[in-house]
Amino acid sequence: MNMRMKLIPAIDLIDGQCVRLTKGDYASKKVYNSDPLAQARIFEEAGIEHLHLVDLSGAKAGQPMHLDVLEQICSKTSLKVDYGGGIRSVENISEVLARGAKQVNLGTMLIRNMDKATEWINTFGVESLIASVDVLEKKVRVSGWQQDAGFELYSVIERLLESGFIHFTVTDIDRDGTLGEPAYQLYTELLNRFPGIKLNASGGVSEQEQLIRLDQIGCHGAIIGKAIYEGRIELLS
């Protein structure tokens, strides 16, 4: 596939294993590989450069639970890793970056402390932080998607842009892990309304043609999970 958009495979971690959920439901867990490093190497050998590493155990616990896995992947592959899940403090951000991550996904911590957004951008740099905004019917969700944050999507994006964020990953929870299709209309609206953002699409990708359409819309990257593990998308960067 010849496209400008980054292809970003996802490894979701629960208890040290690569899993996938459906619509964020932990009860729907399916294990795809018991060795995250081996899975990361499969992606690397296929020519992939980026990896989205999600600490689902951490998201539930409220603290990172897979920093050793992060460090292993960063030290033993050339993948550029963005890491998220359970990050609740500035110390957590520093440690994730120290373990080798190129970028840190801030979700719950950021949404609940948007008044600190400018300070964190100034501390860690605009290229090191991704605003991870998870939505259900355009309402922002936090704490591993378990709670309604009380904010509308557009107001959150606008406020974080003003604070200096440019990297955003927007996940449509209702599509995640469903092998349906991405939220094209939502991403089109976001890019039309906020043309300066670098937007990673997340949720619902199930086939190659959808990646081409996301690229044409203007997405900066596309996070791909279950479709890779189920063999629906070939790993060609």
Catalogue the active-site residues.
12, 134
Distances (CA, A) of 162 to 55, 89, 97, 118, 224: 28, 22, 24, 8, 29
Residue 27: both structure tokens together: 């009860």
Element (H, E) at 17: strand 17-22
Which residues, 6 or more positions from 21, have their beta carbon under 8 angstroms from its beta carbon? 12, 28, 29, 30, 56, 176, 177
| CB 36, CB 13: distance < 8 Å | yes
